[in-house]
Amino acid sequence: MLMRRALFMAGVLLAYACAPEAAYYQAPPQHPRPVTAPRPVPPSRAVAAAPLESRQAPQGTVSGRPLGIAQYMDAQEVEMRGELRASGVASARAGNQLVLSLLEEKLFDGDGAEFTGPGRKMLSRIAVVLRHYGRTVVEIRAFTDGATPVPAAGPRERARAVATALIADGVSPNRVYAQGYGAVRRQVGTGKQIVSPRDRRIEIRLRL
């Protein structure tokens, strides 16, 4: 009798030891995330280059630093050469100045201060770039060669005529200065009686 009871208790204990433990944590149910359709991407639009008049002058920064004088003048020189291509206007750099040289015989009609048709168009093209680069000072100088008779409109009047034309084309008058120099600062080293068309010129000097 005692033996049967001992065997019964041993079986109960063995069955209890082999039973799986009850779970104390139940993971929350996994709900699938709603899938949304991607937004349609509009097709890329090709943007045409803006005309020179509407482009902003390079007055910002490069690599976080202000744009220097030389860089500003370099950019202006490139624009000016492109605008005056095949016009016969000579351009040169003198340090950080850009010098445009216009022959009077192509710019003026006769010995007065009236412009030829191509000469007036030439000034209008120059004014396009000058409006774009509004930081530059525009200094206009008129020269003669010292050999030919002084025209009815002297160097000062012709320099002022050029200034007036540029201002009429939208260049601020606060930036424009005009001066007549006569036969001084000649470009060609010739005698007094030798005519040199290169000396009868209008110089437009651009500087900051």
Per the DSSP assignment, residues forming a β-bridge with 115 are 108
| pLDDT higher at 28 or 155 | 155
> Do the Cβ atoms of 140 and 203 come closer than 8 Å?
yes
For 25, left (φ over 0), alpha (ψ -120 to 50), or beta?
beta
Dist CA 143 CA 105 (whole Å):
12
Dist CA 196 CA 101 (whole Å):
14
pLDDT of res. 116: 93
The residues near 193 (Cβ < 8 Å, ≥ 6 apart) are: 147
> How large is the average pLDDT for residues 10-29?
53
> Do the Cβ atoms of 180 and 142 come closer than 8 Å?
yes
> Do the Cβ atoms of 166 and 63 come closer than 8 Å?
no
Write the pLDDT tens digit of every residue in 176-204: 999 988 666 554 444 555 555 567 889 99
Q: Is 141 helix (H, G, I), strand (E, B) or coil?
A: strand
pLDDT of res. 182: 67
Residue 162 has pLDDT above 80, yes or no: yes
Per the DSSP assignment, residues forming a β-bridge with 91 are 100
Task: Kindly indicate the confidence band of residue 24, based on its pLDDT and cuts at 50, 70 and 90.
Answer: very low
Task: Kindly indicate the confidence band of residue 144, based on its pLDDT and cuts at 50, 70 and 90.
Answer: confident
Per the DSSP assignment, residues forming a β-bridge with 138 are 176, 206
Task: Kindly indicate the confidence band of residue 6, based on its pLDDT and cuts at 50, 70 and 90.
Answer: low
What distances in angstroms separate CA 32 from CA 25, 28, 29, 39, one per listed residue? 21, 13, 10, 21
> Do the Cβ atoms of 100 and 58 come closer than 8 Å?
no
pLDDT of res. 183: 63
CA max distance for the chain: 156
pLDDT of res. 154: 82
| pLDDT higher at 3 or 136 | 136
Write the pLDDT tens digit of every residue in 68-109: 899 999 999 999 999 998 788 889 999 899 999 998 889 998
Domain boundaries, the chain: 65-185+194-207
> How large is the average pLDDT for residues 120-127?
95
> Does the domain at residues 65-185+194-207 carry the CATH identifier 3.40.30.10?
no
pLDDT of res. 19: 52
Ranges 29-43, 57-71, 94-108: which has the least confidence: 29-43
Pair of tokens at residue 38: 């991607």
The residues near 127 (Cβ < 8 Å, ≥ 6 apart) are: 165, 166, 169, 170, 171
> How large is the average pLDDT for residues 113-125?
93
> Do the Cβ atoms of 130 and 76 come closer than 8 Å?
no
